[in-house]
Amino acid sequence: MHDVLANFINLDAITIIYLFGVGFVGGLVSGFIGSGGAFVLTPGMMSLGVPGLVAVASNMCHKFPKALVGALKRAKYGQVDVKLGIVLGISAEAGVLYGAHIQEKIKASFGDAGSNLYVSVAFVVILATVGGFVLRDAWKTYKDGNSNAVEKTGKLAKWVQSINIPGTMVYFKSINARVSVLFTIPLGFATGMLAATIAVGGFIGVPAMIYVLGAPSLMASATELVIAFVMGVGGSLKYALHGLVDIRLAMIILAGSLFGIQLGAIGTTYVKPFMIKVVMGVIMVIVLFSRGLMVPVYLAQLGLIEKLNDGTVSLLKTTSFGIMIFALLLGAFIVLRAMWQGRQAERLQQASGALEHGEV
């Protein structure tokens, strides 16, 4: 019992305000793109002296209630495909368990540095490929002046929708087509594996729903909240069984993130759908640099490159964490700005509508 309680830090007012603030910004981004924030929260808690596993567990325990509130809010706007969320969520749960198992194996074989290197490399490779693709697509939409157009289903998604495997076909309202679960299972699994590795499964889940299954961006990001909820409940229970959840940390972060997630969800009703891709792509690409900076540190710890001096390590760590916070703040700024512009445009439209009506 004493060992377990030793995992729990003392809370002072500054810590509470810090967690509340990071929770708010993370919640705002999650409400908008369906995930995010977690990649800052876990290292953020660890910087306060919370052990890694307790930070991961407490983060997960704040994530599922937050995702639930966000999903309910966005369901009111008709953006959630519950069936798709549950189908992907269940396979994601399996992915989480497998991902955690791989992590344990790597840690047992190569220690903390090996485990950290694996996480950082996963961050860099996945964020570079998927994030780069998402951002390129958003940029193309913007450049071609198609940002107001209804999103088109891509070639890959059309092909996936055209494949008929009897006995495995399920109709999903977000896609407005029948898709084989043989496609959704690996996507959910990959989402879960990524969630277990870098804490943000949505970086695979949302692009997969958009580009592989053909769901509109708004529905994909809203449905991701259902997946996060399903994954989060199972994951939290697993950690709680070992007494690793610090419920105080989880609930304080939740206090801030519930303010944020409501605002982020409201924001989606004001923006053009391609803004989801912009925010997601920008965050992914910036975070990639943040983690990339840490790769030499772990390589040196494993003896694969020459040892770095303490000053360099400390500088790389601080810069990496700073870039991560910057990514989250920039994401939040884009969300708030897009929301503000959307509200202004709506007001102008209402005013001109009223004027026209008056003239008639």
Q: Which spans of this chain sit near another protein (rule: CB under 8 A)?
A: 1, 4-5, 7-8, 11, 61-62, 64-66, 68-69, 72-73, 76-79, 150, 216, 218-219, 233, 236-237, 240-248, 250-251, 254-255, 258-259, 261-263, 266, 269-270, 273, 342-343, 346, 349
Among residues 54 and 295, whose Cβ is nearest to another protein? 54
Q: Which amino acid is at 52?
A: G
Q: Please, which residue, 121 or 247, has the CB nearer to another protein?
A: 247
**Smallest separation, CB 248 to another protein (Å):** 6
C-alpha separations of 51 from 9, 47, 96 in Å? 9, 9, 20
DSSP 146: -
Minimum distance, C-beta of residue 293 to another protein, in the bound complex (Å) = 34
Q: At what angle do helices 13-33 and 217-241 cross, to 10 degrees?
A: 140
C-beta separation of 132 from 173 below 8 A = no
Q: Which is nearer to another protein, 131 or 260 (CB)?
A: 260
Q: How far is the CB of 95 from another protein (least distance, A)?
A: 21
Q: Considering beta carbons, is residue 20 or 289 the nearer one to another protein? A: 20
How far is it, in rounded angstroms, from Cα 71 to Cα 237? 20
The nearest distance, CB 218 to another protein, in angstroms, is: 5
Q: Using only the alpha carbons of the chain, give its radius of gyration.
A: 21
Spatial distance between the Cα atoms of 293 and 331, rounded to a whole number of angstroms: 20
φ, ψ of residue 298 in degrees (nearest 5): -70, -35
Q: CB nearer to another protein: give 131 or 205.
A: 205
Nearest distance, CB of residue 221 and another protein, angstroms: 11
Q: Which residue, 64, 47, 360, 44, is CA-closest to 236?
A: 64
Alpha carbons 264 and 70: distance in angstroms, whole number: 9
Q: How far is the CB of 239 from another protein (least distance, A)?
A: 8
Query: What is the rounded distance in angstroms from the CA atom of residue 253 to the CA atom of residue 16?
Result: 8
Of 40 and 339, nearer to another protein (C-beta) is 339
Closer by beta carbon to another protein, 29 or else 254: 254
Q: How many angstroms separate the CA atoms of 24 and 258, rounded?
A: 7
- Quick one: 63 exposed, middle or buried, by C-beta within 10 A (0-12, 13-18, 19+)? buried
The minimum distance between CB 308 and another protein, in angstroms, equals 37
Q: Output 170 or 237, the one with its CB closest to another protein.
A: 237
Q: How far is the CB of 285 from another protein (least distance, A)?
A: 26
Q: How far is it, in rounded angstroms, from Cα 189 to Cα 167?
A: 20
